[in-house]
């Protein structure tokens, strides 16, 4: 869902209709709460948040390689990796 004027609500207005707002956040539909005109929090569907956290965790489990270093890298073969794992067991 894109951020639009319809899903940005000041906290002062959200207080009185929090129950209704929580029903409005389904899937990737969310509501941004503002205070003093600046975004401060968001109401999101809990399943969407859980899925998002899982996806982010999967990305962070991968090793980051600086693009400038890519010319100096290579892929290792299964035999090399197996040998290293065997050495680690010693």
Residue 51 has pLDDT above 90, yes or no: yes
pLDDT > 90? residue 35: yes
**What is the predicted pLDDT for the residue at 39?**
93
The CATH number of whichever domain residue 45 belongs to comes to 3.40.1620.10
The burial class, CB within 10 Å (0-12 / 13-18 / 19+), for 84 is exposed
Q: Is the pLDDT of residue 22 over 70?
A: yes
Would strands 31-35 and 8-10 be described as parallel, antiparallel, or unpaired?
A: parallel
Segment holding 40, helix H or strand E: strand 38-43
Range of the domain at 55: 5-89
Joined together, the tokens standing for residue 67 give 């693009």
With contact defined as beta carbons under 8 Å apart, do 9 and 34 qualify? yes
Count of domains for the chain? 1
DSSP 62: S
Percentage of the chain beyond pLDDT 70 is 91
pTM for the full model? Answer: 0.57
């Amino acid at each position: 869902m894109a951020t639009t004027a319809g899903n940005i609500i000041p906290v002062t207005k959200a207080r009185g209709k929090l129950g209704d707002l929580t029903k409005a956040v389904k899937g990737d539909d969310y509501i941004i709460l503002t205070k003093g005109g600046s975004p401060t929090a968001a109401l999101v569907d809990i399943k969407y948040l859980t899925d998002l956290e899982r996806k982010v965790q999967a990305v962070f489990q991968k090793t980051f390689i600086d693009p400038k270093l890519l010319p100096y890298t290579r892929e290792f073969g299964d035999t090399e990796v197996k040998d290293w794992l065997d050495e680690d067991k010693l």
